[in-house]
Chain A
Amino acid sequence: MVMRRINRTLVYGALIVAAILYLLPVYVVVITSLKSNASVSLAQMWNFPTHASFASLRAAWAQLAPNFGNSFYLAIPATLFSAALGALNGYALTKWKFRGANVLFFVILMGLFIPYQSVLIPLLRVMDSLGLYNSIPGLILVHTVYGIPITTLIFRNFYSLIPDDILEAAKIDGTGYWGIFRHIILPLSMAGFVVAGIWQFTQVWNNFLFAVSLTNPPNQPVTVALVNIAGSQTVQWNVQMASALLVSLPTLVVYIVLGKYFVRGLLAGAVKG
């Protein structure tokens, strides 16, 4: 019993230490964004601001606000589309094994490893010829395409855990390909959508390279505005940290609200009949 209590103390102690370490960077971001420009310096980075100033948050918001809408307009459809395609692919690859399924999966999965910096020039040409250069729909397409490998991986793994017996029964009933997907697979997919959705939303929201290469103002997502605030000559660290804080809020909310489902989603995948 005593051992047990000591162990509990150790567990909580370790967790609290780890939590402090994880929150340390946040502390720096928050206090820096509350400082005035003149009182920001590396030497005083740990110090509390002498008086809290919300000027930098206000300045950051003024510059970011117009781009927030673009980011939502981009991230939500891109997340939904790539998750939908991932679900369809996962279904086709696991539940209807056909000759060459593994080859096709391999072909899709390899897309995960392409270095995006190397495709900018051809990407720009293709988008231009599609008439999608400098448009959010264009960015949605790009993020959907490059999201396919990871969402397919997630759903393939997820669906492979759904026992085939249920499907066999439905097939004997005469339910077809789409019927099985709609009535059996889709209702079980919520957790998969949460995992794929969170992952994709974060990736798309935080992406800078495609955003800056494929859009011009006023169509640019908020990450471009964030980097623009960094400026090329005068860096205002307080405003930069304040904007980093603001830009991270939507993804933070997603994680805090859906974080529970994220773990549960990973869990649900394992619960099999």
Chain B
Amino acid sequence: MAQEVLPVKAPKTSKPLRRRHRTGDSWMPILTLAPSIGLLAIFVYGFIGWSGYVSFTNWNSFIPTLTWAGFRNYVTVLTSFRFQSDLRNIFFFTILFILGVLVVGLILALLIDQKIRAESLFRSIFIFPMAISFVVTGVIWSWLLNPTTGVNLILKSLGIPGPQWFLSTRFVPTIHLGQLSIGIPIALLAVVLAAVWQMSGFSMAVYLGGLRAIPEELKEAARMDGASAWRTFWSVIFPNLKGTTATIVVVEAAASLKVFGLIYAMTGAGQDFTTDMPNLNMFQTTFSGDAFAQGAAIAMLLLLLMAAFTVPYVLSVLRGER
């Protein structure tokens, strides 16, 4: 059985305890969970219900007009150029961000796991960006990635022409779908870079934990010189990190949906909405435009979107445990 670190998936060996002597204890787990469930019932599900209700009303000014509007707000939101851009952006952002965090975290963890000196120093350096708030990260990186003054100055002195970063309006590839350009917005890469910088320490730490749990002989084999090391890694080490990877994916996916602070401080909606996100759109629609019902519709769509991605995944993991 693979040793997993923080796996979402519990090892198959763990059997539930059978209730034998103390039948009174059988209610204990439920009682233990009750306060949490009760609080979440109000603060998560109650509020979602409230948003859902509002999203079907005409409350699009300060006057709380709670008359039934049907799907009108949803139609308005779904047909808006901004929301369509948001869907494209959050799709690419989440994928690129998670990939980036996994790859960078794994590389760093592998490097640190090479029995190096000053290990704790390196670990601290890679992990410390997590301590900084997204808002601060946003300001710093908007400086660093300013095309005329930031890292491009350094690249220029090395003779490399730097990209336009978050000012770019290019898409790779560019596929036109009506008004909308489908492709990875280059500008979004700047945001991904900042987010990966901030969050890769977490994946590094989790992967490091995972690597340390792998028996030394296996790693020793992988550490051997030559081509075999590469193959050993993929056939022996990597499969052992599956559970670890799953944990990182869940935690970072949740984090990626909350990049609000980073985007807000770094780029805002960006040129041509290249760095806009549904929650930024929702915030502005609700509180700058006072369109509460439309904002609620965006929130509901965002939740549906998240559910579409996470529910099947979580369910499959839970099913796998049985």
Assess A/B contact in the complex (Cβ within 8 A).
Answer: yes
- Does B146 reach chain A (CB closer than 8 Å)? yes
Tell me if B160 counts as interface (CB < 8 A to partner A). Answer: no
Contact indicator B42/A126 (Cβ below 8 Å):
yes
| CB proximity of B285 to chain A, nearest CB, Å | 10
Is B66 positioned at the interface, with any CB of A under 8 Å from its CB?
no
CB contacts (< 8 Å) of B302 on chain A: these are 115, 118
B77 at the interface (CB under 8 A from A): no
On whether the beta carbons of B279 and A22 are closer than 8 Å, the reply is: no
B306 & A15 in contact (Cβ 8 Å cutoff): no
Distance of A40 Cα from B162 Cα, bound (Å): 23
Instruction: Sort chain A's interface into a size bin.
Output: 35 or more
Distance in angstroms between the alpha carbons of A244 and B139 in the assembled complex: 10
Question: Does B116 touch A at the CB level, under 8 Å?
Answer: yes
Q: Mark interface residues in A167-181 (1 if CB within 8 Å of B CB, else 0).
A: 110011010111000
Q: What's the nearest-Cβ distance from chain B to residue A82, in Å?
A: 9
Minimum CB distance partner of A123 in chain B = B47
A272 and B5 alpha carbons, distance in the complex (Å): 11
Taken together as a complex, chains A and B put the C-alpha atoms of A260 and B257 apart, in Å, by: 28
Does the CB pair A266–B209 fall under 8 Å? yes
Chain B 103-135: CB-based contact to A (< 8 A → 1; otherwise 0): 000001001101010001011111111111111
The residue of chain A having its C-beta at the shortest distance from the C-beta of B10 within the complex is A160
How close is A206's CB to chain B, nearest CB, in angstroms? Answer: 3
Q: A45-B150, A96-B26, A260-B120 are in contact. List 11 more A-B contacts (CB 8 A).
A: A3-B225, A25-B129, A114-B48, A117-B279, A119-B43, A145-B39, A206-B132, A208-B133, A227-B135, A244-B136, A259-B123
Q: For residue A28, which residues in chain B have a CB less than 8 angstroms away from its CB?
A: 140, 143-144
Of A14, A114, A148, the residue contacting B303 (CB under 8 A) is A114
Complex Cα gap A205–B39 (Å)? 21
Known: A11-B114, A42-B143, A263-B209. A19 touches B36 (CB 8 A): no
Whether A248 is near chain B, meaning CB under 8 Å from some CB there, is yes
Question: Quick one: which of A11, A43, A45, A111 contacts B111, CB cutoff 8 A?
Answer: A11
Chain A residues near B17: list those with CB within 8 A: 95-97, 164, 167-168, 171
Q: Which of B67-75, B166-174, B266-274, B310-318 binds A?
A: B310-318
Provide the residues of chain A in CB contact with B13, threshold 8 Å.
Answer: 163
Residue in A24, A95, A150, A158 whose beta carbon sits within 8 Å of that of B251 in the complex: A150
Near A by CB (< 8 A), chain B positions 243-274 give 247, 250-251, 254, 257-258, 260-261
Contact status A106-B35, CB under 8 Å: no
Q: What residues of chain A lie closer than 8 Å to B46, measured between beta carbons?
A: 122
Which one of B182-190, B230-238, B291-299 is at the interface?
A: B291-299
Listed from nearest, the 5 A-B pairs whose CB atoms lie closest are A97-B16, A266-B209, A118-B299, A270-B213, A206-B133
User: Are A267 and B209 in contact (CB-based, < 8 A)?
Assistant: yes
Give every chain B residue within 8 A of A43 (Cβ-Cβ).
148-149
Q: Which residues of B are at the interface with A, using a C-beta cutoff of 8 A?
A: 3-8, 10-11, 13-17, 19-22, 24-26, 28-30, 32-33, 35-37, 39-40, 42-48, 50-51, 108, 111-112, 114, 116, 120, 122-137, 139-141, 143-144, 146, 148-151, 153-154, 197, 205-206, 208-210, 212-213, 225-226, 247, 250-251, 254, 257-258, 260-261, 278-279, 282-283, 286, 292, 295-296, 298-299, 302-303, 306-307, 310, 314-315, 318, 321
Give the distance in Å from the alpha carbon of A229 to the alpha carbon of B165 in the complex. Answer: 27
Chain A nearest CB, measured from B169 CB (Å): 21
Question: Is the Cβ of A19 less than 8 Å from the Cβ of B318?
Answer: no
Q: Which residues of B contact A164 (CB under 8 A)?
A: 14-17
Give the interface segment out of A50-58, A60-68, A72-80, A83-91. A83-91
Residues in chain B near residue A110, CB distance under 8 A: 44, 307, 310
- Could you jot down 19 A-B contacts, CB within 8 Å? A11-B111, A15-B122, A42-B146, A96-B28, A108-B36, A112-B250, A112-B254, A113-B306, A115-B299, A116-B258, A118-B282, A118-B286, A123-B43, A163-B14, A164-B15, A202-B130, A256-B124, A259-B124, A269-B5
B150: chain A residues at CB < 8 Å are 42, 45
Q: Is the CB of A115 within 8 A of B139?
A: no
A92: B residues at CB distance < 8 A: 28-30, 32-33
A128 to B226, CA, bound (A): 66
Query: A157 touches which one: B6, B131, B154 (CB < 8 A)?
Result: B6
B286 touches A157 (CB 8 A): no
